[in-house]
Amino acid sequence: MKKILLTTLSLLVLASCSRGLQETVSLDQQENQQQEIKTLSDTQAENTANEEKDFIASSAESLFLENFADDIERPLKNVTTLPTNMLSSLETKGGMIFNTLNKSKFAQKIGYFFADGPVKRWMNKPGKSDSTPRITSDQITQMKALLKPGDMILCGNNASFVHAILYLGDDVIVHSLASKGKDGKVLGVIRETLGEYLFRSERDKFVVLRYKNFDPEEMKKVADYANKQIGKTYDTLFLMNSDTRFYCTELVYQSLMQLTKAPKMFPHKVKLGWKLITNEDFMDSPEFETVWSLNKNRPATGKLHQY
């Protein structure tokens, strides 16, 4: 009898182990299936990224200094001064590389490897000063009293007006910063209070925008998306359709695009063939109302895009 019981127990243990092994293999198979499969187009994209490493590095540096740096000295030659035929050739080439990088995460890994250094070396560089005083505590109080979840806070300092922030409510913001923390690492997408940010960073120009058709019940979609990006580093390739990394305006844009009825806001083409979404594009959309502003006049809407 004892032998029969021992045999039965042994069989049960073996069956259990077998099931456990099968489940482990099944999970491993699922994980492998979830991994990205490199296609022929990915291989071609990787080859393009490797072949154009110098162009990618110089383009990333130029894009950052021209569009997202806080008014620091720009030592790079302005490509718009090149002959028309040469500039047109560069824009065609840049547009092709931009599309290639947007479509392939394999190519992006190579692209970021070459773009990170040139962009990061300009982070935390001091900007040129001007006579406009930074926002005061009273002005911060005025702005906070008007803010609602889902608002877009556009701001800048001195001659720059490049940063965008998503307001979640209760003084909490999510944004992507092209700067380095105390440990020397790039901050990228972080969550903090608006008060903490404005205490730490000198800002003197503001335009706060609100989507006119914003449904407060859909704020969770926006907040969930933004919160999921926390910890991702700054997008030194400035890609519109990749969720691997984010630059500041890209994060706000993609967060608001989670709405069932998303606002009409369109990127624009810049030199070197790239497409960027910037504060100017946000302010151009007639679907946003101005909630509050300081030392910055919002331009007339509908001048840059057709809505």
195 inside domain: yes
Same-domain status, 144 and 289: yes
Whether residue 262 sits in one domain with residue 142: yes
Instruction: Judge if 96 and 242 occupy the same domain.
Output: no
Q: What is the pTM of this model?
A: 0.85
**Secondary structure (3-state) at 107:** helix
d(CA 95, CA 214): 33
Show the tokens assigned to 94.
């840049």
Examine the domain organization and report whether 105 and 186 are in the same domain.
no
Domain of residue 152: give its range: 137-294
Do residues 187 and 261 touch, judged by C-beta distance below 8 A? no
Q: What's the CATH code of the domain at 247?
A: 3.90.1720.10
Q: How far apart are the first and last CA of the chain?
A: 84
DSSP code string of 199-262: HHS---EEEEEEETT--GGGHHHHHHHHHHTTT--B-TT--TT-SSSB-HHHHHHHHHTTSTT-
User: Residue 190 in 3-state DSSP?
Assistant: strand
Place 125 in a pLDDT band, splitting at 50, 70 and 90: confident
> Which of residues 77, 92, 120 is at a domain's end?
120
Residue 171 falls inside a structural domain: yes
Is pLDDT larger for residue 91 or for residue 304? 304
Residues 6+ apart with CB under 8 A from 232: 176, 188, 189, 244, 245, 246
44-86 tens-digit pLDDT: 999 999 999 999 999 999 999 999 998 776 665 555 556 676 6
Residue 78 DSSP symbol: -
Q: How high is the pLDDT of residue 180?
A: 87
Q: Given 120, 150, 165, which residue is the final one in a domain?
A: 120
Residues 49 and 194 in one domain: no
Q: Which is it for strands 186-193 and 172-180: parallel, antiparallel or unpaired?
A: antiparallel
178 shares a domain with 49: no
User: Domain tally for the chain?
Assistant: 2
pLDDT for 15 equals 41
